[in-house]
Chains A and B, each alone.
Chain A
Amino acid sequence: MKESSRKHGSLSPCAACKLLRRRCAPDCVFAPYFPADEPQKFASVHKVFGASNVNKMLQELPEQQRSDAVSSMVYEANARVRDPVYGCVGAISSLQQQIGSLQTQLARAQAEVVHMRMRHLASTSDYPAGTGSTENKLMASQSKSFYYMDTVDQANITESLWSY
């Protein structure tokens, strides 16, 4: 990207240097990630984080991680511009509520599946309805899937990004 902006001989400044009204140096840290044709991208990042903070953050990262860092900063900045009170924390809250709702629905649906399976077995089996071993096996296998999500969640939660 840096090369393409310099290809035609004109030193067209990147979106950051254009906004900051300064000369875009060949080794400008912003240039690879804020092309001149996307001015809004840098505008929102600059508004929320500030150019010097972004510069510092990018300088502290190895080059191969900077692209992802810029993308996440742009996302956060846009979220904050849209929702100045909660920013992307509002999205986290919304997602968490969805997860709760889906888990409830899933538990209900799985309970109903167990119920239907038991009915089906009772109506088709040679054994009388209510045979303990068949029902127990069904409940055991179903309860595995009931609690699968919780155990997965727990495993992920303990692998916290934020552990010291």
Chain B
Amino acid sequence: MGDIPTSPDIIFRCKGSPLAAAIKSAGISFPLPKSGLILVGEQTNILLKHTQLIHLRGKAVKMASSSSYNSPCAACKLLRRKCMPGCIFAPYFPPEEPQKFVNVHKIFGASNVTKLLNELLPHQREDAVNSLAFEAEARVRDPVYGCVGAITFLQRQVQKLQKELDAANADLIRFACNDIPTALPQAPGTSSFQPLTPRNRLAEFNRRNIGNEGGGFYQVPGALPYSFPWNDASPDDINDGGEGGM
């Protein structure tokens, strides 16, 4: 694969994070979109605007419908056609965000986007447009890997964290085994910081690694929606990994 492209600073957060506070101060109100998808960062300000549009949907629709008589949506402007009142693009590509549609049109094409949106329910279209816009921008910036580069980067992060977690749990097991002569009996329901017998420690280790709380994400590939084509570092695997959704 050569140099792995580093990802943009993609952060998905829920309420309560400093990011959420920043979004709030930018004028976006809660609740967050159903997708929980928030893209922020110094280099991804334009993507944040996509999220802003989710929360300002009412305003955007109103602007689009009222402005369609005066000003066409970004899609119709680029396509040089009359923006009709029922234009499928108008709610999602306002005229003040021309670059969003430019990217989407460049990568996917207006007719493909139309077909895709027509196949979706109206309440799904916003998220679909925002994800398309994200992918399109990623592809414009990285024509070779697009947003798959970010997936690869995140996948490696997951693997690294899992290894570190396994190492820390192995340390705990070792301590637990060394504590055999000094371990005190453990009452049920007490906190994990109380000393455990080696058998309980081993059970805890297994629970963390096999159960819901543990490394199930790494050890149970089915938990992910897709397998990733570039799990191995070997560049020779690239050409074999084109299937993605398995």
The reply to whether A161 and B5 contact each other, CB–CB distance below 8 Å, is yes
Please measure, in the bound complex, the distance between the C-alpha atom of A77 and the C-alpha atom of B221, giving whole angstroms: 20
Please measure, in the bound complex, the distance between the C-alpha atom of A59 and the C-alpha atom of B19, giving whole angstroms: 40
Please measure, in the bound complex, the distance between the C-alpha atom of A60 and the C-alpha atom of B11, giving whole angstroms: 31
Chain A 133-157 interface mask (CB, 8 Å, partner B; 1/0): 0000000000001000100010011
The reply to whether A102 and B217 contact each other, CB–CB distance below 8 Å, is yes
Please measure, in the bound complex, the distance between the C-alpha atom of A87 and the C-alpha atom of B115, giving whole angstroms: 15
* Set B42, B111, B172: member contacting A109, Cβ < 8 A: B172
Given A76-B146, A161-B141, A161-B142, A53 and B109 touching (CB < 8 A)?
yes
Which of B53-61, B65-73, B80-88, B235-243 lies at the binding interface?
B235-243
Given A105-B214, A156-B7, A49 and B107 touching (CB < 8 A)?
yes
Given A72-B145, A75-B244, A161-B8, A48 and B108 touching (CB < 8 A)?
yes
Given A86-B35, A91-B225, A103-B161, A72 and B148 touching (CB < 8 A)?
yes
A163 within 8 A of B: yes
Residues of B within 8 A of A94 (CB): 224-225
The reply to whether B10 and A92 contact each other, CB–CB distance below 8 Å, is yes
* Set B153, B158, B172, B241: member contacting A102, Cβ < 8 A: B158
Given A105-B165, A161-B8, A82 and B225 touching (CB < 8 A)?
yes
Residues of A within 8 A of B9 (CB): 157-158, 160
B44 within 8 A of A: yes
B154 within 8 A of A: yes
Residues of A within 8 A of B10 (CB): 92, 96
The reply to whether A119 and B147 contact each other, CB–CB distance below 8 Å, is no
CB nearest neighbor in A for B182: A123
The reply to whether A72 and B144 contact each other, CB–CB distance below 8 Å, is yes
Within 8 A of A (CB), among B151-188: 151, 153-155, 157-158, 160-162, 164-165, 168-169, 171-172, 175-176, 178-179, 182
Q: A87-B132, A88-B147, A105-B213 are in contact. List 18 more A-B contacts (CB 8 A).
A: A49-B109, A50-B109, A61-B143, A68-B1, A69-B143, A71-B229, A73-B146, A84-B116, A86-B35, A86-B128, A89-B147, A95-B158, A113-B172, A119-B195, A160-B8, A160-B43, A162-B44, A163-B43
